[in-house]
Amino acid sequence: MEDKFGKLGLVTASIIKKSDDSNVMELFVMSCRAMGFGLEDLMLRMIAEDCVTGKKKLIGRFVPSDRNSPAAAFFKNNRFEPISDTEWLLPSLEIMPSPPNWFIFSKRS
């Protein structure tokens, strides 16, 4: 990630466990330097757009700890629904909030 002040480098990563009927987001980490600008919502939307195909659904996993409290409402804020104490289901890609329009995404090889 970079902005007008400089490059922040790699600021987020995710691990998705894929199966025949669902994709489970086992891990979503983001640098605290990049949180709060909407990048987390943009990345989640990009993951969802890649994972929700046909009848495949996206499930997010969140296990509370003393280190991840800033992310406690991450799935709820992105309209996922709780299906267990640690898992959240995205019922439809159409209900996700739109990403911030001021982000420019570019893939680099």
User: Using an 8 Å Cβ cutoff, are 8 and 2 in contact?
Assistant: yes
The predicted-structure confidence for 41-74, as pLDDT tens digits, reads as follows 888 888 888 888 777 899 999 998 988 887 888 8
| Spatial separation of the C-alpha atoms in residues 1 and 35, rounded to whole Å | 12
User: pLDDT band for position 35 (50/70/90)?
Assistant: confident
| Spatial separation of the C-alpha atoms in residues 76 and 71, rounded to whole Å | 10
pTM: 0.80
At the fourth CATH level, which superfamily is domain 8-95?
Answer: Gcn5-related N-acetyltransferase (GNAT) (3.40.630.30)
| Spatial separation of the C-alpha atoms in residues 97 and 73, rounded to whole Å | 14
Domain borders along the chain are 8-95
User: Using an 8 Å Cβ cutoff, are 42 and 50 in contact?
Assistant: no
User: pLDDT band for position 103 (50/70/90)?
Assistant: confident
